[in-house]
Amino acid sequence: MNAVLRRLPWVRARTVATPPASESTDQAERLATAAEEIDSAQRELEALDAERAELIEERRRLQRVLGERVGKRIMSLAKVEKTNGTPSFLAGARLLQRVHRRADEPGRGLDGAGAIFEDRARTKTFAHSHGLPASVLTAVAPSSEAAVVVHAFHGEVGLVEVRHRGRTCHFDPAGADVGDIRSTVAYDPEIPPPPALSALCAWSATLSAHISRPYVQVLWDAEEGGPVLRAIDVDPARIPALTPEWDRRLGDLFDSAHARMLLQPYRAGALANRVPGGTFTSEDGR
C-alpha cells in the first residue's frame, strides 16, 4: 500500500528529504550570524536614540545661554552648533550632513559630490585620475564576509574599521588595535588588520584630499588577490559614536580637515562673509 501511495504525484510532493548535517550546520551558523547582526543593530539604534535626546537637550540649553549673551531670548539653531570650542567628531560630521542636506537635491549635497560617488563608473574614473592602480578598481560585488572602512579626513586617516560576520575591530593607521571604542557594535579582538593596510591608508588619504568634504568613508573589499575599492561614501548613513577620548581625537582631525578644505576659497576671497582680519561676521539663521 505504501509503495502504491509513493507513486502518486501529490504524495511524492509532500515527501521532505532530510538535509545533510553539513547543510544544517551552515544554516545554523548563518542564523546565528544574522541574530548577532540584528542584536548589534538594535543596540546601536537604542544608543543613538539616547544620544540624540541628550544632544537635543544640550543644544536647547546652549541656545538659551548663548542667546542671553547677545540680548536675545534664544539663539538660532544655525548658529549654536559647535560653539562650545570642544572638538567633536560626531557633532562636526552631523553638522556638515545637515548643511549639505539643505541642498535642492540632498543626495547630491551643496557641492554635488554625492552625485559623483553614487555612480560606480564616475567613482572609478575619479580614483584612477588620482593614481590608484587598475588592480584595485575592478568592479566586484560587495563581499559579505569582510569589509574595511577607512575613516579619512581630507588627506589624513584617523581610523580603520574592519567588519567580519557582524563583528568589528578598529585599528589606527599603523595597524594597532585601539580596543573597544564603540559600544554600539560587537568588538572582536581576534579580527586581524588588513594585510595591505598601509596602501589602503595611503590611497584613502589621497582620495579624501581631493573631495570637498572634511570627512569621508572609503570602503574596500579585502579580496585574496588584493584589496578592491568598493565605494567612497561622502554622506555616511552611520557615523560612529565613539568613546569621548576617540570622539575628541577624530574631532581634532575633523576640525583641521575642515580648515584645510576652506583654505583655498578663503585665500581666493570666495567666502562671502569674510571680513578683514580673518574673522567671520555673524548672520541671522533660521
Per-residue pLDDT, 179 = 96
Instruction: Specify the pLDDT at position 209.
Output: 94
- Rounded CA separation 258/214 (Å): 5
User: What phi and psi values does residue 227 have, to the nearest 5 degrees?
Assistant: -70, 150
Q: Give domain 86-267's CATH superfamily.
A: ATP-grasp fold, B domain (3.30.470.20)
**What is the torsion angle, in degrees rounded to the nearest 10, for the CA atoms of residue 104, residue 79, residue 60 and residue 92?**
70
What is the 8-class DSSP label of residue 274? B
Summarize the confidence of residues 260-267 as an average pLDDT: 76
pLDDT score of 193 more than 90: yes
The pLDDT, as a whole number, for residue 70 is 63
Q: What is the pLDDT of residues 142-163, one digit of tens each?
A: 444 448 999 999 999 999 999 9
The pLDDT-based confidence of 5 (bands split at 50, 70, 90) is very low
Residue 266 predicted with pLDDT over 70? no
Q: Where are the alpha helices (DSSP H) in 179-221?
A: 197-209
pLDDT value at position 280? 44
Within the chain, all domains assigned CATH 3.30.470.20 are found at: 86-267
Residue 177 DSSP label: B
Matching residue, cell 580648515: 259
Average pLDDT over residues 170-193: 95
Average pLDDT on 241-259 reads: 93
Where is 92: in which H helix or E strand?
helix 89-100
Q: What is the pLDDT of residues 106-121, one digit of tens each?
A: 888 888 888 888 888 8
| pLDDT confidence of residue 206 | 96
- Computed over every residue of the chain, the mean pLDDT equals 80
Band of pLDDT at residue 220, cut at 50, 70 and 90:
very high
Instruction: Name the residue with cell 560630521.
Output: 93
